[in-house]
Amino acid sequence: MATLNPFEKELNESSKQDFSDLKAVFINCTLKKSPAVSHTQGLMDKSAAIMEGNGVQTEIIRAIDRDIATGVYPDMREHGWEKDDWPEIQKKVMEADILAQRPRRYSRTWQPTQCLGSR
């Protein structure tokens, strides 16, 4: 997790807002598998640290490390795939108040379906 600089810490500590009832899910669409360094992960870690400093519960999902089947159905195991982590991820997304989805950092031709499929 990223650390906050003194200015960011001061902003978090001086906030009078209560965000402790919020959940945020970040979906990182980097092309680098863990534990490889990912600039996209660094951006998400910083955002998550700021949110956590304000009481928001966060979870970061690195899509490349998960078995997300391609297809158009909510659970592709019902359509011939042996494994599909999407139903578990979708449940977390639906329970979250905030969804932050980030494509890989240097994508020039990114389309929304490249990370999450058409589901």
Number of domains in the chain: 1
What's the confidence (pLDDT) of residue 78?
A: 96
pLDDT grade, residue 2 (50/70/90)?
Answer: confident
Within-domain flag for 101: yes
End-to-end CA distance of the chain: 29
Residue 6 falls inside a structural domain: no
pLDDT the model gives residue 22:
97
Instruction: Please give the model's pTM, rounded to 2 decimal places.
Output: 0.80
> Is 17 inside a domain boundary?
no
pLDDT given at position 115: 55
The parent domain of residue 74 ranges over 22-109
What are 11-32's pLDDT values in tens digits? 888 989 999 999 999 999 988 9
- For residue 61, being part of any structural domain is answered with yes
Cα–Cα distance list, 47 to 12, 75, 77, 110 (Å) = 12, 30, 33, 21
Q: How far is CA 49 from CA 42, 53, 88, 107, in A?
A: 11, 6, 24, 25
Considering only residues 110 and 9, tell me which one the structure prediction assigns the higher pLDDT. 9
pLDDT above 70: percentage of residues in the chain: 85
Confidence of residue 106 (pLDDT cuts 50, 70, 90): low
71 domain residue, yes or no = yes
